[in-house]
Amino acid sequence: MSTALHEVGRLLPVVGFLAAVLVLAKLCDDEGLFHAAGVYMARHSWGAGQSAARRLLTTVFLIAAGTTAVLSLDATIVLLTPVVLSTARTLGVPARPHGYAAAHLANTASLLLPVSNLTNLLAFSAAGLSFTRFTAAMTLPWLLAVAAEYAMLRWLFRRDLRVSTSDRTAPPPPEIPYFVLTVLVLTLIGFGVTSLLGLAPAWAAFAGAAVLAVRAVVRGHETPLGIVRAANVPFLLAVLALGVLVSAVLDLGLGDALAHLLPHGTTLPALLGIAAVAAVLSNVINNLPAVLVLLPLVAGAGPVAVLAVLIGVNIGPNLTYPGSLSNLLWRKVVRGQMTASAREFTAIGLLTMPLTLAVAVLGLWLGASILGLR
């Protein structure tokens, strides 16, 4: 019982942080942020002839990478993906390249900030780095991984991307939600400031969510109960329960067995090996239990090894649907709007995931050397 309570106590700050980010993303959608993004994508690609689909893919990459990094992968899957598919239909271009871009970036582009993914929050806690230090270490891996995804998906879907757009009237300019953008920028600044002051960055997320929540309630756009629902309390409780379960399994000897598979040290080959083990395990048991299992085993090796695990559990799930919960959610979102069989998803993942994983680890190794991390 004491072990379970200890694990719950360890995860509570992480779960609280996650709740604030989920509420923040939902309120951003209520303020029209993702509708504005869809209108911008359509206008940016309008009238470009045969290059319209390629231009849309570029815009999707930029917006999806930013959305995933700042508002978490859940926002990209649940809120942005339907907008992306609707924009593709409006332009009359194939949906598959852009739909798969959203799916892959929900995983790959979640490397950047501690708030981008639940796995990041767990790794952030285990690595012992400040918010700014974590972000600095993951910037180069994030840039290289997103660039690799873009190059490979553009090549894989080169035929779909040659389709011309239909000749229709361009949509009007989007109404830019300046207030919500200002709150997001201030929240990001708050992450850095709280880190410098030695405070938990979760306070900045709570502040940003509180500002938008009060505004939504005062204007009658949301109710207090609706805001609580946005936090997805059943999911948060499931995370706590999973943490307790994984801790118990580790105590039964699984940790010792896995420890023998993990390379030691922070050389480039060792980091590649750690990330590869994390990627494989993610596709066997899902990335959330995988990160809970692996973090205690590598925490003693230092923050760079922890971040190598993070790269594996974030990029690895691009291989199979069971790799992450976001994959399964994406499949549900796109059902009936584009083909997305398990065979096709895995075939695309086999061509993209290994290289993306490798360049991200290379970026981590280079970035750690520059920052003096061990």
312, 352 in Cβ contact below 8 A?
no
Distances (CA, A) of 259 to 240, 277, 294: 24, 11, 9
Amino acid 364: pLDDT: 97
- Checking if the pLDDT of 49 tops 60, the result is no
**Highest mean pLDDT of the ranges 193-202, 229-238, 268-277, 335-344:** 268-277
Distance CA 216, CA 32 (A): 12
pLDDT of residue 155: 95
Q: Which residue has the tokens 């201030």?
A: 186
pLDDT at 253: 64
Q: Tell the burial category of 99 from Cβ atoms under 10 Å away from its Cβ (0-12, 13-18, 19+).
A: buried
- Contact at 8 Å (CB) between 91 and 164? no
CA atoms of 304 and 299, how far apart (whole Å) = 9
Number of domains observed in the structure of the chain: 1
DSSP, res 50: G
Helix ranges (H only) for 219-341 are 224-230, 233-249, 255-259, 268-285, 287-298, 303-315, 325-334
DSSP state of 76: I
Give me the percent of the chain exceeding a pLDDT of 70: 93
pLDDT band for position 237 (cuts 50, 70, 90) = confident
Query: What pLDDT is stored for residue 371 in this prediction?
Result: 92
pLDDT of residue 62: 94
Q: Closest Cα partner for 176 from 61, 78, 39?
A: 39
Q: Please report, rounded to a whole number, the percentage of residues in the chain having pLDDT higher than 90.
A: 43
Residue 228 has pLDDT above 60, yes or no: yes
Packing angle of the helix pair 131-156, 178-196 (nearest 10 deg): 130
Is pTM beyond 0.75? Reply is: yes
Q: Which tens digit of pLDDT belongs to each residue from 265-276?
A: 899 999 999 999
More confident of the two residues 51 and 357? 357
pLDDT above 90 for 25: no
Average of per-residue pLDDT values in the chain: 87
Of 124-128, 141-145, 164-168, 177-181, the range with the highest mean pLDDT is: 141-145
First-to-last C-alpha distance (Å) of the chain: 35
What distance in Å separates the CA atoms of residue 308 and residue 360, rounded to the nearest whole number?
Answer: 9
Q: Which domain holds residue 249?
A: 2-371
Give me Rg for the CA atoms of the chain: 20
Which segment, 119-128, 333-342, 344-353, is predicted with the most confidence on average? 344-353
Question: Any residues with CB less than 8 A from the CB of 110 and at least 6 apart, and which?
Answer: 68, 69, 72, 73, 116, 117, 119, 120, 314
